[in-house]
Chain A
Amino acid sequence: MKLFRYNKTAILAMVSIVLISCASDDQPGESQLDFTQPVKTQLDTWITSNYLTPYNINVQYKWNQNTVDNSRYLFPPTTDKVLPALEIVQQIWLKSYSTVGGADFVKKIAPREIVLVGGVNLNSVGTRTLGIAEGGQRVTLFETDYIDKSNRANVSEFIHTIQHEYIHILNQNKPFDEKAWAVITPVGYTADWYNFDIPESNEIGFITSYARSNINEDFAETASMILIYSKAEYATFLNGIQSPFAYQALKTKEALVVKYFKEAFNMDFYALRDEAEKNTSAVINN
Chain B
Amino acid sequence: MKLKNIFKYLIAGILILYLNACSNATEADQLFEQTPTERLNARKTELKDALLSSEFGWKAVYFTDNTVLGGYTHLFKFAPDGTVQMASDFDGDTAVYKSEYEIQLGSTVSVTFTTKNRIHLLSDSDSYPIAALESEGYKGDFQFLYYGQENGDIVFRTNRTVKELRFVKATAADWADLPKNLIMEQNVIGGASRPLFRLLETNDGSTKHQFDFTYTTPTRYAEANSIEAGYTVSYDMGIGFTPTGIVVSPAVEVGGQKLTNFVYNDVDGSFTATGTGGVTAVIKYTDKPLLLTDDYKMLLPGQPLAWFGFYADDYTVDAPTNSPLFYAELAKINAALPAGQEISSIQIYTNHSLGTFIYYTFVGRAALFHFVDVVEDAPGKKVILKHKSWSNATTAAFVTSLDKYLTDPNGIYLKRESFRLFYSEPVYTFTSSSSPFRMTTWKLN
* A residues whose Cβ falls under 8 Å from a Cβ of B: 3, 6-7, 10, 13-14, 17-18, 21-22, 32-34, 38-39, 61-65, 70, 72-79, 118-124, 126, 128, 145
List of 6 A-B pairs having minimum Cβ-Cβ separation, nearest first: A75-B120, A120-B126, A62-B114, A21-B22, A122-B125, A78-B116
B117 nearest CB neighbor, chain A only: A78
Q: Is the interface of A mostly helix, strand, loop or mixed?
A: loop
Kindly state whether residue B115 has any CB partner on chain A within 8 Å: yes
Given contacts A6-B11, A63-B114, contact A119 B22 (CB under 8 A): no
Given contacts A75-B116, A79-B115, contact A65 B126 (CB under 8 A): no
Give per-residue flags for B95-127: 1 if the beta carbon is below 8 A from chain A beta carbons, else 0: 000011010101000001111100010011110
B residues near A10, Cβ cutoff 8 Å: 11, 14-15
Shortest beta-carbon distance from A38 to chain B in Å:
7
B residues near A7, Cβ cutoff 8 Å: 7, 11
B residues near A13, Cβ cutoff 8 Å: 15
Q: How far is the CA of A120 from the CA of B136 in the complex (A)?
A: 11
Partner of B125, one of A17, A77, A79, A119: A119
Partner of A126, one of B35, B113, B134: B134
- Which residues in chain B, 33-75, are within 8 Å of chain A measured between CB atoms? 35, 37-38, 41, 44
* Contact in complex: A70, B160 (CB < 8 Å): yes
Q: How far is the CA of A75 from the CA of B114 in the complex (A)?
A: 9
Q: How far is the CA of A73 from the CA of B11 in the complex (A)?
A: 68
B138 nearest CB neighbor, chain A only: A73
Kindly state whether residue B139 has any CB partner on chain A within 8 Å: yes
Partner of B115, one of A22, A33, A62, A120: A62
Number of CB contacts from chain A to chain B under 8 A: 104
Partner of A73, one of B82, B112, B115, B136: B136
* B residues whose Cβ falls under 8 Å from a Cβ of A: 4, 7-8, 11, 14-15, 18-19, 21-22, 35, 37-38, 41, 44, 81-82, 99-100, 102, 104, 106, 112-116, 120, 123-126, 134-137, 139-140, 142-143, 159-160
Shortest beta-carbon distance from A120 to chain B in Å:
4
* Contact in complex: B106, A65 (CB < 8 Å): yes
A residues near B22, Cβ cutoff 8 Å: 17, 21-22
* Given A10-B15, A65-B104, A118-B116, 14 other A-B residues pairs in contact with their CB atoms under 8 A: A7-B11, A17-B18, A32-B35, A32-B37, A62-B115, A63-B112, A64-B104, A65-B159, A72-B135, A73-B135, A74-B123, A76-B114, A79-B100, A119-B124
B11 nearest CB neighbor, chain A only: A10
- In the complex, 21 of the A-B residue pairs with CB atoms within 8 angstroms, ordered by the A residue number, are A14-B15, A32-B41, A34-B41, A34-B44, A63-B142, A64-B104, A70-B160, A73-B124, A73-B125, A73-B135, A73-B140, A74-B123, A75-B120, A76-B113, A77-B115, A78-B116, A79-B99, A79-B100, A120-B124, A120-B125, A122-B135
From B8, B116, B120, B134, residue with most partner A Cβ within 10 Å: B116
Q: How far is the CA of A30 from the CA of B292 in the complex (A)?
A: 76
From A7, A38, A75, residue with most partner B Cβ within 10 Å: A75
* Contact in complex: B124, A76 (CB < 8 Å): no
Shortest beta-carbon distance from B11 to chain A in Å:
5
B107 nearest CB neighbor, chain A only: A65
B residues near A128, Cβ cutoff 8 Å: 126
Shortest beta-carbon distance from B20 to chain A in Å:
11
Shortest beta-carbon distance from A201 to chain B in Å:
24
* Contact in complex: B115, A78 (CB < 8 Å): yes
Shortest beta-carbon distance from A247 to chain B in Å:
36
